[in-house]
Amino acid sequence: MAGEGDRERSSALVAGLAGISLRCGRCGTAIAADRSPGRCGCGGLYEVVYTRAPAIDLRAFERRLGSWEALDRSGVWRYRELLPPLPSERIVTRPEGNTNLYSHPALSAWTGCTNLIVKHEGENPTGSFKDRGMTVAISHARAVGARAVACASTGNTSASVAAYAALAGLPSVVFLPAGKIAAGKLGQAIAYGARIVQVEGDFDAAMQLVEAASSELDLYLLNSVNPFRLEGQKTIVFELLHQLAWEPPDWIVLPGGNLGNTAAFGAALEQLVRWGLVAQLPRLAVIQAEGAAPFYAAYRSGFVELRPVRAETVATAIRIGNPVSYERARRAIEFTRGVVEIVSDEEILDAKAVVDRAGIGCEPASAASVAGVRKLVAQGVIRPGDRVVAVLTGHVLKDPDAIIAYHLAGERRPLANRPVTIPPSLAALREVLDDAG
Ligand code: AN7
């Protein structure tokens, strides 16, 4: 006999999920979109397949910019014709996106790229791009009657899961590599009320544990294994192209960790080309931290295989040695004639100081994209006049310890901004201000 949960589940399906199915990207097996999409039996990951071509009306996207309706105001759901048709009463939105584009002479000068724009995904509700995927995946979780949600995280996913689960009224459990989470992110996950499990091990160990736990313990998995996350993250590209009047840039540059964003960007660009929304394809440039660069090594070897590494970098968000979305990220690089590059921790921190000093600000992992632009321009891969969009993935307040460590580190950092301490007297004040020139 069907229980209450089953009835609710099937009515939600009839109402919302009829237009999509899930297909394994490795073996092609198709399943209904009615549950927490873990891995396929073959080990591959599912992707969302649309059974109908979308009815795209660019004027509708434009009109929604002037609306107060939550779904119109979201930089994700504004593009809802391009997203899974989830029942609107189940959608949980803050709203997300609407992230701005910035250029600054200091960024152009430092990178050598005159036409550099940054898109600041740190302006999302919880301070990272993860919210774009989360609104879609948690809405799917509600549509299929999930009882609790879970993720492993280097920090930002956990902050986003904690917030969206609280908004949805669902309990959440987050698995974190113990001691390796930036303060802002850990603070958010605690504050929003997630059950926090610190795993003695790195992100990759936490990821393995949550995958096992989600199938054993009936937890809806919110990592980017979940294809609904990637559907939401595609809207970074949709919104960017909308902002650029559908005139694609020459390059889109982004940091690579677990490679969910790389996969989502590639899939979004494939769709935009198929639908005739862009004529010319931007090339993707994925930037990894030198100490956490399995994707770079695979790229350099002609994508023969991915060899997991033990990851270490100051950019804790991308301290990932065995990226879950490797196969689909590889497809994204091949489809866009993209490149993969590495930057050192030193280059990441210098790039961050330039972005911060420009008044824009970002967390260390985000600055990898700007450091990558500089390196690719120096190598002649990106030409100085190319139109380049670098994605800043997270907010400057995510990792305050990284800021303090950099600026108090000593003389070798030209942009170091060291606070001074003085007695409360004008004479002492004059002295330090004179020193500053
Ligand atoms: C700021 O939060 O993996 O290559 O668990 O937080 O799509 O994984 C974070 C990743 C870049 C890498 N920039 O993106 C997590 C997590 C920031 C990030 C990445 C992350 P993907």
Whether the CB of 153 sits within 6 Å of ligand 1 = yes
Which residue minimizes the CA distance to atom 12 of ligand 1?
Answer: 257
Determine the residue of 121, 132, 156 to mutate for testing ligand 1's pocket, defined as the one with the most ligand atoms within 8 A of the Cβ atom: 156
Q: Is the pLDDT of residue 109 over 90?
A: yes
Whether the CB of 256 sits within 6 Å of ligand 1 = yes
With b meaning 16 or more CB within 10 Å and e meaning fewer, what string describes 251-268?
Answer: bbbbbbbbbbbbbbbbbb
Which residue minimizes the CA distance to atom 9 of ligand 1?
Answer: 317
What tens digit of pLDDT does each residue of 263-284 get?
A: 999 999 999 999 899 989 999 9
At 345, list the tokens.
């921790």
- Which of helix, strand or coil describes residue 246? coil
- Ligand 1: which atom is nearest the Cα of residue 259? 4
Q: Is the pLDDT of residue 382 over 70?
A: yes
Q: Is the pLDDT of residue 411 over 90?
A: no
More confident site: 409 or 340 = 340
CA 229 to CA 232: how far, in whole Å?
Answer: 5
- pLDDT recorded at residue 13: 52
CA of 424 to the centre of ligand 1 (A): 44
What is each CA distance from 369 to 55, 112, 323, 332, 411, in whole angstroms? Answer: 34, 14, 18, 17, 25
- pLDDT recorded at residue 46: 96
Mean predicted confidence (pLDDT) in 112-132: 98
pLDDT category of residue 437 using cuts at 50, 70 and 90: low
Are the C-beta atoms of residues 57 and 78 closer than 8 Å to each other?
A: no
Whether the CB of 154 sits within 6 Å of ligand 1 = yes
What tens digit of pLDDT does each residue of 173-185 get?
A: 999 999 999 999 9
- Ligand 1: which atom is nearest the Cα of residue 254? 11
Note the pTM of the prediction, 2 decimals: 0.95
CA 370 to CA 377: how far, in whole Å?
Answer: 11
What are phi and psi for residue 361, nearest 5 degrees? 80, 140
Are the C-beta atoms of residues 174 and 259 closer than 8 Å to each other?
A: no
Angle at 48 between CA 122 and CA 327, to 5 degrees: 75
| Mean confidence (pLDDT) of the chain | 94
Whether the CB of 393 sits within 6 Å of ligand 1 = yes
Determine the residue of 132, 176, 261 to mutate for testing ligand 1's pocket, defined as the one with the most ligand atoms within 8 A of the Cβ atom: 261
Whether the CB of 156 sits within 6 Å of ligand 1 = yes
Which residue minimizes the CA distance to atom 5 of ligand 1?
Answer: 153
What tens digit of pLDDT does each residue of 214-246 get?
A: 989 999 999 999 999 999 999 999 999 999 999
The full set of domain ranges for the chain reads: 54-398
**Can the peptide bond before residue 87 be classed as cis, meaning omega within 30 degrees of 0?**
no
Q: Is the pLDDT of residue 2 over 70?
A: no
CA of 213 to the centre of ligand 1 (A): 21
Determine the residue of 318, 320, 362 to mutate for testing ligand 1's pocket, defined as the one with the most ligand atoms within 8 A of the Cβ atom: 318
* Residue whose C-alpha is closest to residue 157's, from 215, 120, 203: 203
CA of 257 to the centre of ligand 1 (A): 6
CA of 426 to the centre of ligand 1 (A): 47
- pLDDT recorded at residue 1: 34
- pLDDT recorded at residue 26: 94
β pairing state of 195-199 and 251-255: unpaired
Whether the CB of 318 sits within 6 Å of ligand 1 = yes
- What count of Cα atoms within 13 Å lies in the side-chain half-sphere of residue 213? 22
CA of 293 to the centre of ligand 1 (A): 14
At 37, list the tokens.
């999409």
Whether the CB of 366 sits within 6 Å of ligand 1 = yes
What tens digit of pLDDT does each residue of 52-97 get?
A: 888 899 999 999 999 999 999 999 999 999 999 999 999 999 999 9
- pLDDT recorded at residue 395: 98
Which residue minimizes the CA distance to atom 10 of ligand 1?
Answer: 317
What are phi and psi for residue 402, nearest 5 degrees? -65, -35
- Residue carrying structure tokens 């919880």: 126
CA of 229 to the centre of ligand 1 (A): 12
At 102, list the tokens.
């910035």
- pLDDT recorded at residue 246: 95
Whether the CB of 261 sits within 6 Å of ligand 1 = yes
**Statement: 54-398 belongs to CATH 3.40.50.10490:** no
- pLDDT recorded at residue 16: 52
What tens digit of pLDDT does each residue of 7-57 get?
A: 455 454 544 577 899 999 999 999 999 888 889 999 999 999 998 888 899
Which residue minimizes the CA distance to atom 8 of ligand 1?
Answer: 258
Are the C-beta atoms of residues 215 and 38 closer than 8 Å to each other?
A: yes
Whether the CB of 363 sits within 6 Å of ligand 1 = yes
- Residue carrying structure tokens 């009829």: 18
What is each CA distance from 56 to 78, 156, 313, 398, in whole angstroms? Answer: 12, 32, 42, 36
Q: Is the pLDDT of residue 294 over 80?
A: yes
